Structure 1
Amino acid sequence: MKILIVSATKLEIEPLLVNFVETNQVNQKLREYSFKKLDIDVLVTGVGMVPTAFWLADTLSRNTYQLALNIGICGSFNNTTPLGEVLNITSDCFSEMGAEDGESFLAMADLDLLEDDDFSFNKGQIKNVFSFEHKAISSLKKVSGVTVNKVHGEVNSIELTKQLFCPDVESMEGASFFYACLTHQLKNLQLRAVSNYIEKRNKENWNIPLAVKNVCHTTFQLLQHL
């Protein structure tokens, strides 16, 4: 089985990589590994939706995979979700894509600019249409996300985003990953662990090491039984 693991940074998957044997470096972003009976390509795209979209499209145009995994961390809009909890993001959107109308914001669905034949979007949301059942992820909470260029840290913009999209989490890459995978009809999962809450920026409240540890552990459990 050939699997693609996509992450914005090496930091987010470093505890996972120590379990693999590296066999080849394809380019500055893509490396090949082996693990048990699996062939695993690891793509470290760089942070943000544009690098993710470019490098993932390039990789998928040159290779065939049975499964793609987007592994990383996220911020949570819900402060009752424990830091470090691993979540299964099943829908995502480009929440900043739209137009300002005075003090209002019009999302893409409001502008009626989404083509009917663009299967990836459902009223502005990109939903993962592939079902994937496995005991390592069956207990994970399924949530919705927003993908942003600028992470939220101001009260008014946070409240507006919650009103418009009702998201559970925020990342800078998730919707790009979904869009590319769905365009290629590639079965995929987006797994992220909560590293912080969406609030006025306060790094003292973050726990990136715990989030990285937990999402890598869950991913390892998944790979062990594929």
Structure 2
Amino acid sequence: MIDTMLVVVATEMEVEPFLEYMSRNAVRRQPAYRAPGSIAKFLSYYIDEREVDVLITGVGMTATALQVASLLSHRRASGEGNYVLAINAGIAGSFTENYPLGTPVEVVSDSFEDFGAENGSGKFLSVFDMGLLEKNQPPFDEEGILQNPNFGFFGEYVGVHGVTVNKALGRKRVIERLKKRFEGREPHLVVETMESAAFFLACRAFNQDFSCVRVISNYVGVRDKRKWDLPFALEELNDIIRYNVFEDFLTHWGPDENFKGDDGSEFGYGDEDIIFLI
């Protein structure tokens, strides 16, 4: 079986430098898989006996869950099976200024944090509070959180908790509620995204090993893009992807080399494939 790596991104803009790099250094081929819908796009490149596929999902948790689940389902139905590792990569907002803009972190747990209802006084009620989902019902843990049981691929980055939302947070009351909810918890709450928990959920549903790396582009609060450093965050993100996909996977990793996660489990690059998701 050909060794394959998949990069999944929310928007093409986020990985334009990486795609340009691949167009100069790899051969593009016609893929057998076609992503559903009119927004998503699937690209495929190869070098020697290795492939890199790029899946552009569209923004948000719904698009991410649909596209990742569709791809994993296709792999299973076609007999190709799971990838050896799925990696979610992208930018994120940070709840704390302890991490400078452009800092990469590994998200090791994540949760849906605006999935529920408000009561008459404006208090948020999660789907767990309303009894629509049960805590501790797989793949959720006793707190209603999605864990990555095999984190550690990006061992050089600090492990953090992330929250996934449909709309980026701006109201101080909501931000403080989340900080209080996760106060004292390890790993501590650091990042806000619009896709990661959906990625966790799809991977857990298909028993797919995965990892998640995010680069901090802004601080969570009143939306003011003048205070963001999106160019620097995207530059760091593309460097991470290019190194792990092209320079590392395609040119350095041998077929029998394995990576050990923090729990001692091995991720091999030989007979299976690797996914990257932004």
Q: Tell me whether the two structures share a fold, i.e. TM-score over 0.5.
A: yes
**How far is 1:37 from its partner?**
4.8
| 1:67 maps to 2:85 | yes
Contact preservation (8 Å) 1:3, 1:66: no
Contact preservation (8 Å) 2:108, 2:159: yes
Contact preservation (8 Å) 2:151, 2:211: no
Contact preservation (8 Å) 1:108, 1:124: no
> In structure 1, what is the Cα distance between the partners aligned to 2:224 and 2:56?
26
Aligned equivalent of 1:164:
181
| 1:51 maps to 2:53 | no
Aligned equivalent of 2:253:
none
Aligned equivalent of 1:121:
140
Contact preservation (8 Å) 2:92, 2:217: yes
Structure 2: state its 5+ residue gaps: 35-39, 76-80, 184-188, 250-278
Contact preservation (8 Å) 1:74, 1:194: yes
RMSD: 2.1
**How far is 1:38 from its partner?**
3.2
Identity, % of aligned pairs?
36
Aligned equivalent of 1:106:
125
From 200, 209, 215, the counterpart of 2:237: 215
Contact preservation (8 Å) 1:72, 1:193: yes
Q: Which moved more, 1:83-92 or 1:211-220?
A: 211-220
Any idea what the Cα deviations from partners look like across 1:177-201, whole Å, max 9, x if unmatched?
A: 1100111111111111111000111
Aligned equivalent of 1:150:
167
> In structure 1, what is the Cα distance between the partners aligned to 2:6 and 2:177?
35
Contact preservation (8 Å) 2:128, 2:134: no
Any idea what the Cα deviations from partners look like across 1:26-64, whole Å, max 9, x if unmatched?
A: 435211122565322211111111111111111111124
Match of 2:101, SS state, is coil
Structure 1: state its 5+ residue gaps: none
> In structure 1, what is the Cα distance between the partners aligned to 2:21 and 2:105?
22
Contact preservation (8 Å) 1:95, 1:165: no
Match of 2:207, SS state, is coil
> In structure 2, what is the Cα distance between the partners aligned to 1:39 and 1:119?
33
Contact preservation (8 Å) 1:158, 1:199: yes
> In structure 1, what is the Cα distance between the partners aligned to 2:7 and 2:124?
35
Q: Which amino acid aligns with 1:24?
A: Q
Contact preservation (8 Å) 1:153, 1:201: yes
Q: Which moved more, 1:106-115 or 1:62-71?
A: 106-115
> In structure 1, what is the Cα distance between the partners aligned to 2:152 and 2:101?
25
- Change in 2 beyond 3 A, CA 1:55/1:209: same
Q: Which moved more, 1:102-111 or 1:87-96?
A: 102-111
Q: Which moved more, 1:206-215 or 1:163-172?
A: 163-172
User: Structure 1: which 4+ aligned runs deviate by more than 3 Å?
Assistant: 25-28, 35-38, 108-113, 115-118
Aligned equivalent of 2:7:
5
**How far is 1:90 from its partner?**
0.9
Aligned equivalent of 1:76:
94
Any idea what the Cα deviations from partners look like across 1:116-174, whole Å, max 9, x if unmatched?
A: 774221121111112444xxx22111111111111011212211222224531111111
Select the structure of larger CA radius of gyration: 2
Aligned equivalent of 2:276:
none
Tell me the number of residue pairs that the alignment of Structure 1 and Structure 2 aligns: 223
Contact preservation (8 Å) 1:95, 1:147: yes
> In structure 2, what is the Cα distance between the partners aligned to 1:98 and 1:208?
30
Contact preservation (8 Å) 2:108, 2:151: no
Any idea what the Cα deviations from partners look like across 1:89-140, whole Å, max 9, x if unmatched?
A: 111111011332334223334344434774221121111112444xxx2211
- Change in 2 beyond 3 A, CA 1:200/1:36: farther
| 1:86 maps to 2:104 | yes
> In structure 2, what is the Cα distance between the partners aligned to 1:36 and 1:18?
19
From 30, 47, 69, the counterpart of 1:24: 30
